[in-house]
Every structure is written in C-alpha cells, then in structure tokens.
Chains A and B, each alone.
Chain A
Amino acid sequence: MSKIIPIGPYHPLQEEPELFKLYCEGEIVKDIKWETGYNHRGIEKLSQSRTFDQVFFLVERICGICSTSHPFAFANCMEEIAGIEVPDRAKYIRTIIAELERIHSHLLWVGLAGHFLGYNTVFMWAWKYREPVLDLFEMITGNRNSYAMFKIGGVRRDIENNKITRIKETLDLVKKKTDLLAGAVMDDPVIHARTKGVGILTKEDIVNYGAVGPVARASGVAIDVRHDDPYAAYPLVNWKVITAQSGDVFAKAEVRLLEMYESISIIDQCLARLKKEKEGETEIVVKEVPEGIGTGHAEAPRGEVFHFVKTDGSNYPVRHKIRAPSYVNIATFRKSCVGQTISDATLSLAAVDPCYCCTERMAYAFDVETGKKIYNGNELLALSQSKTEAIIKRIKTEL
C-alpha cells in the first residue's frame, strides 16, 4: 500500500511553489508526480505589452537569484535580430556581472545543501562570504539584486577603473573562502557517504530530459552555452568547462564548487582587459529593431536560459517565449528520486538547485487512507539530517 508524501506547494526545498507528490511504500519512493503553475505570472504575455527597453526590467524579475541571466539572453536575442555587436567594454562588463552572479548563486546553493545535510556551519560560512559579493553589486549597480545593467546595444552603467581594486580584493577573499568550503565539502567522509550514489542521473537521462547546466555537467555531458555558442567576452578569455562523471549529488556539488574558481578567473581576466579599454564606451545607439525572429541563450548559474522573440518592426515583441533551466531540470526528478528513500529524495530535489526566491512554508505528509498527518516540513528536514548523524556515528565506530 503506497502513501503519498506531498512536498509543497510552499516548501523550503523548492525554487517556486510547486507540489511534488512522492508515492512511497515504506521508506522507498516508488513514483513521483507534480503540479506546477502556482507561481505562473504570465510574463510572456505581459512582455507583449512592453517596449523592448521595458522588457529588460520585466524579465529581470523572473528569478531573484540569477536576475542577470534573463536580461542577458534577451539582449543576445534582440541583438541578433537587430544585427548589432556591442562595444568590447560592454562585453567585459556583462561578463563580470554574470560571473559575479554565478559565484553568489553557487555560494547560496552550497550553504543550503549544507543545511539540508545538517551541516549548519557550512550554511553559515557560505552565506557569510556571499555577502561581500552582494556588496560589490551594490557598489557597481546600486542594487544588491535586480541590477538593471542591460540594454539593447550595451550596458546602462560603466564599471569605472577606480572600482577595479576593490573588486579584486573581494575576489581574493572569496577565493580563499572557497578553498575553505571546497575543503570542508570535498574532504569530508560524512558528506561523501551521504551524497555519493544518491540521486544518480545517467548521460542517457540527461539527453532524454534535455537537462542543462551543472545538472548535465555532473553527469559527464559537457554542455555550456558560454563554450558552445560563445557570447559577450567568453571567447576572449581562458577558462574551461567543469564536468564530473558520477551524476550523483556529490558530483553536482563538486561541479558547482569548481565552477566558482573558473568564474573568479574569468572576472580577473575581464578586469585586466577593462583597464585597457576607454572608460564610458559602454553602448551603441540602436535606432530600430527590424521585423524578424531571434533566438538568444545564456548560461545562468542553473543552466541554459533560452529566449525566442518574434518582432514585426514595431517597438513591442509579437511573441516572447522564455525557457528557464529549471523547466527541464525539474522533470529529471522522476529519474533521480524514484527508488530512493524519502530522506534521499529530499536531497536529490535540492541538488538540482531550484531557486529559493519564494515564500517558505510548511509541508505535511499525510496518510492517504486516514488523512492523518505524518511529517511536517521541519520533520522531513530532520529526517534528512538524522541520516547524516547516523552516518557520522557509523564512521566514528569504524574508526
């Protein structure tokens, strides 16, 4: 007899309000079903009534954590339709903003992953050292989030050369602390025992579901828009695509941690080039956008963001289709969760890094037959943490 354990619609494990129903027999998840649409805001439809300049502010609000990835993809898309190339200085600035965002987004995930495992020290560290990155954003753009930096033809604000020293100092600090976090995660026998072999996605699963970003790269599928279809300053600097082979939760953590080093290196190189460019040359004037279709994509911290726009020569999009990375990554839960225990399923759900910009509420597990409540949200979390504690005890006795 199977019991249904719902996670959501409002639950700390999730990017946005969604309802996952885990069909369990005993401790084992046998099937998973979901209901989406709790956070459907009609942004594609809204976009059709906004001018191209206004659309940037709209798409920036799709995601609170990676608020630059959607404007980036939209800019790529519109610049393809208009057939323009932005100045080099704007390319470097765009790249710096996108990579700073990747660093703070990955730090946020590492912290939350630590929390789900019951390692609250990792959570405190990661979020503490995310703060200086947000301070940098405040200095550069005026906002900690939703930076409003992008426009068709360039960027709205320059990064003046006198700010470069402070950016470099902060990056040095973040790099040192990343060493600390990477050491804490990669060398810890308990984290190895808790996350290795959990929530495995094979290469075939990734291809079948069309999964993207760190989820795909952790299963050995080396796709990264920055490398495959280079845009902005990515073809002008040296960096490499990070992959892992095992496809489990540990591999996803490994990919994200190592990607932070690449991001720091990309920003360093961009800052060095920025010094040589003339200050203030951050945009070109775009007089009109012709009729046509455009497809633009960008690599967000969670994977490929894809935008499709059809224009008719007016100032508004006729159709604007947006696909966020979690749209394809969430569907992989059917593969990563089925056959696991409930405590591992919660970890596998979190490992995809759905973003956490929405309200956190409680979830209840209930018995289908009697309607009696079994677990609430905190108890589900405690279940995951207690498994880690059991592993710690086991490892201690083995030693």
Chain B
Amino acid sequence: MTSEIENIKTRFGEGIFQVAVRNERRVTLTVDKEKIVDIAGYLYHEFHWRFIIASALESNKGIEIFYHFSNDSSGLILNLKVILDKEKTEIESLTCLFEASSWIEREMHEILGINFLHHPNLEKLISDGNWAEGVYPYRKEPS
C-alpha cells in the first residue's frame, strides 16, 4: 500500500470504513458519506490528484457512488466508495472543490435520483424535458 493511502487512513481514521487493495495501482476506500468533501478535498488540494469521474449504481446495500481519482504521477486509481440509504439519497456536492464534478452530479441526479446538496445548478443534463419526473432509469425498480 502506498504511503498516501496510509496517510489518508491516519488522517481520517474512523471516516474510512474499509480498504480494498487490488494491486499497487488500484485501491478502493469505502468512506463515511458525511466526510466525502473533506476526503476528496484532501486528495485534490494536498496530493493534487485528478478527479476522473464518478459512477453510481443501485445494489442491495443502497445507492453506491464511486468517486474515481487518479494520481497521474504513479498511475494509481483510487475509488472512494460511499453508500447512501435508498430512503435518503442525499450527499454533499463536490462542486465546491472543482468544476469537474458539476456535469456528472447532474447526470447522477437525473438517472438515479441522488440529491447533491449545495450544487449550484442541479438541472437535468441529458433529457431536459423529455423524461417523466421522478422516474429514474438506472434504479432497479423504477420508483
């Protein structure tokens, strides 16, 4: 495990629920959703890691979001995984840190109904006016 991952574990302690190391260039951290802005901000400002994109999906545990970060000097891809309760799909937006998350948060809001708090413009990205309200195509059972 790289020193940066150790550093994150030490700094955020209880905010990190699980560490899964696939190999030296692929690591997934399951983190506390309340800490997501702090942890993502730490990666972006302290380590200067690049935000690639985020992926969201519905599983038995709830709505999972993977935030993918890249350390371009070592080739490491770090996935920050958070699990949201299906009844309360809310999480803080990362747009306060970087513009790069703006579009993908709008997209996840649209396809899975995740509410990103404090996003400056949480309008539909893909289907402006073409899909029914409250129908989320990537949910397993459309609500």
The answer to whether B99 touches A308 (Cβ under 8 A) is no
Query: Which of A37, A297, A306: most chain B Cβ within 10 A?
Result: A37
9-residue interface stretch from A121-129, A140-148, A171-179, A315-323: A315-323
The answer to whether B126 touches A36 (Cβ under 8 A) is yes
Q: How many angstroms between the C-alpha atoms of A308 and B56 in the bound complex? A: 10
Q: How many angstroms between the C-alpha atoms of A129 and B28 in the bound complex? A: 45
9-residue interface stretch from B3-11, B35-43, B71-79, B84-92: B71-79
The answer to whether A229 touches B25 (Cβ under 8 A) is yes
Q: Interface readout for B43-79 with A: 1 if CB under 8 Å, 0 if not?
A: 0000010111101010000000010101011110101
9-residue interface stretch from A204-212, A277-285, A364-372: A204-212
A228 at the interface (CB under 8 A from B): yes
The answer to whether B55 touches A321 (Cβ under 8 A) is yes
Q: How many angstroms between the C-alpha atoms of A293 and B48 in the bound complex? A: 25
The answer to whether B98 touches A208 (Cβ under 8 A) is yes
The answer to whether A209 touches B79 (Cβ under 8 A) is no
The answer to whether B125 touches A37 (Cβ under 8 A) is yes
The answer to whether A228 touches B72 (Cβ under 8 A) is yes
Q: How many angstroms between the C-alpha atoms of A293 and B80 in the bound complex? A: 13
Q: Interface readout for B10-27 with A: 1 if CB under 8 Å, 0 if not?
A: 000000000000100110
A37 in contact with B127 given A210-B98, A229-B77, A306-B53 (CB within 8 Å): yes
B133 at the interface (CB under 8 A from A): no
Q: How many angstroms between the C-alpha atoms of A331 and B53 in the bound complex? A: 13
Q: Which chain B residues lie closer than 8 Å to A229 at the CB level?
A: 25, 70, 75, 77
Q: Which chain A residues lie closer than 8 Å to B77 at the CB level?
A: 229, 295, 297
A319 in contact with B55 given A37-B126, A37-B128, A229-B77 (CB within 8 Å): yes
- Taking the closest CB of chain B, its distance from the CB of A79, in whole angstroms, is 12
Q: Which chain B residues lie closer than 8 Å to A61 at the CB level?
A: none
Residue in A210, A228, A321 whose CB lies within 8 Å of B75: A228
Q: How many angstroms between the C-alpha atoms of A42 and B138 in the bound complex? A: 10
Q: Which chain B residues lie closer than 8 Å to A287 at the CB level?
A: none
For A81, the closest partner residue in chain B by CB is B22
A275 at the interface (CB under 8 A from B): no
A321 in contact with B53 given A80-B22, A210-B98, A295-B79 (CB within 8 Å): yes
